[in-house]
Chain A
Amino acid sequence: MKGTRVFQLTALALVVVSVVQVGWWLFDQRAYAIEKVDRARQLYAQQIQAAQALVDSGATPNSVSAMLPDVVIDGKHASLSPAVDRMLLTEKDRRIRQYAWEGGFFLLALAVCIAVIARALRAEALVRQEQESFLALVSHQFKTPLASLQLSLETMAMRPLSTDQLRTLIDRMLADLARMEAMVTQILESVRLERGRVDLRREPLELGGAVTRVLSHLEERARKERITISTDIEQGLYVLADPLALDVVVRNLVENAISAVTPVGGGTITLGARRLDGEVELSVKDTGVGFRPADGARLFEKFTRLHPGGGSSYYGTGLGLFIVRRLMQLAGGRVSAHSAGVGQGAQFVLVWPLASAEPT
């Protein structure tokens, strides 16, 4: 990495030096072309002077023209032949044009080189910066469950505890481990998605069936938290998506909704789908903690946790919605978040391309 950077910087320096050199060469060649034509004009001026002297001494114009063919005699006045004058002018213009084209081409090629190298350097710096902040954020996210684990273990080592207290601590530690494992999974998933290393299928999927499948895994948790989940999805609504990705995005949104409703002591989550113009829209609406409308876009950025203290989203990594957005983008769809404000509930809307026909 460092070697590449040194190489890039050296190349950039060489190209910049070359630009200066080409610029100087161009300037020098132009001056040379002008000087060359000027010198020719001086030589012709000597011929004109000689011709004028001959004319003044009584030589006939014809004899003078025979001796000095580039000079014309107009009565008693000698001057340079218009053809030669034109030739000199043309020669000067031709040379200057030639150097301008050649030099210009070189300069253009060098400018492209500079742009390419500068772009590579900038992109590399950006990647490095992102990696550093990603690492800082990831390690920061791990410190809290690690601290909790350490505290539980040291409590066990330091204090005499009853069986019930031990059980509580063991459950807590297992939950901390599960939390870290979920974090690792999500981090790897987000890195994979970010680098585009995913091969998503695009096939017609029945939305109602997919949503029912996801809900069947979450219903018990919702019931425990006194949350009612209702759906309003017409049968036979097909979307173009990857079956696994569809599962992940719907599960993420419903889990988030449960986490948002839990701290307010129960409520409802409503899933509704409708056909739009060439698309299918699925909305997940909850009566939970909501968020400030201004935070709607920020929610989908990496490591954004608006309510880390709110209910079961305690364990959120801040990567779930980032993954949802990326998967929706890759599926050719989109996702958006809406809330009237904190305490006002929230609505997440997923939009997929409509599948024209059922799978055969």
Chain B
Amino acid sequence: MSTPAPQIRILVVEDDPHLAAGVTENLRAEGYEVISMGDGKPALEWLRDQPCSLIVLDVMLPEMDGFTLCRTLREQGNSTPVLFLTARGDPADRVRGLEAGGDDYLAKPFHLQEFLLRVRAILRRWDWYRSSSDTPSGAVLQFAGNEVDFRAFRARAWNGVVQELTEKEAMILKVLAERPGEIVSREDLLERVWGYDVFPSTRTVDNFILRLRKRFERDPANPRHFLTVWGVGYRFLVEGES
């Protein structure tokens, strides 16, 4: 197994002591620093002043459930990625988890290898996002009077309105901005932003593009920057289509 840098810290929030111990031991064996908690409330307290790279979060917890914890974190502007672990594995619950701001969703019982793979995939996606947002050229995107701050997940639109971006919106924007003028396929966007099999359909990507158009296009019905390439994907133009 590859050994990641020691500073990668993962918070495990799971109320079942055996499962929590198993997950913690395996993540430690992979070289991560792991903190384990049994409920959403202490986790929320802890996260107030402690950073971490990933939260492995059980959905059914004694006092504050995982969905509520994740939603609260997002409302507080905390964008730490979340991997849900839960006994409820039906599609409706998966969608609920992702809507609450989760990055991935794994139903119990799960395979250890798959769990570790997903942890690595989420960390890799965020590692790419953070490192490319850390450079002066990558931290801010300016186009058509819009200014996007990737580190703060915030933007000022052409009409002066300040926009709070979700992590997914910021990530999509980042992928598109890295390849201006090029065609980016929906599958490529899914892979880069969500991972392999989290969402069942590429239509999700279309919905996010619609949201970006509403935020940044002067006339969202006739976009000049977020262009659809029929049957393939999208093309982002900084200057705008003439």
Contact = CB atoms under 8 A, between A and B. Distances in A.
Interface of A: 140, 143-152, 154-155, 158-159, 172, 175-176, 306-310, 314
Given A144-B87, A146-B108, A155 B26 contact: yes
A309 B39 contact: yes
A310 B87 CA distance: 19
B37 to A, nearest CB: 9
Nearest to A149: B109
Interface residues of B, number: 25
A148 B14 CA distance: 12
Contacts of B25: 155
Does more than half of chain B's interface fall in helix, strand or loop, or is it mixed?
loop
Interface string B12-55: 00011111011101100100000000110000000000000000
Contacts of B29: 159
A140 to B, nearest CB: 5
Interface stretch (B110-118, B142-150, B167-175): B110-118
Contact of A314 (B17, B26, B63, B88): B17
Contacts of A155: 22, 25-26, 112
Contact of A144 (B39, B63, B108, B111): B108
B16 to A, nearest CB: 5
Given A155-B22, A309-B39, A314-B15, A147 B62 contact: no
Interface of B: 15-19, 21-23, 25-26, 29, 38-39, 60-63, 87-88, 108-113
A150 B111 contact: yes
A140 B88 contact: yes
5 contacts: A158-B113, A172-B22, A306-B62, A307-B62, A309-B61
B62 A151 contact: no
Contact of A176 (B15, B18, B39, B112): B18
Contact of A152 (B22, B38, B110): B22
A35 to B, nearest CB: 64
Contacts of B87: 140, 143-144, 147
Given A145-B16, A306-B62, A308-B15, 16 more contacts: A146-B108, A147-B87, A148-B18, A150-B109, A151-B23, A151-B26, A151-B112, A152-B22, A154-B112, A155-B26, A172-B22, A175-B18, A176-B18, A309-B15, A309-B39, A309-B63
A146 B16 CA distance: 12
Contacts of B108: 143-144, 146-147
Contacts of A310: 62
B138 to A, nearest CB: 37
B44 to A, nearest CB: 14
Nearest to A158: B112
Contacts of B112: 150-151, 154-155, 158
A150 B18 contact: no
A176 B17 CA distance: 11
Contact of B16 (A148, A152, A154, A307): A148
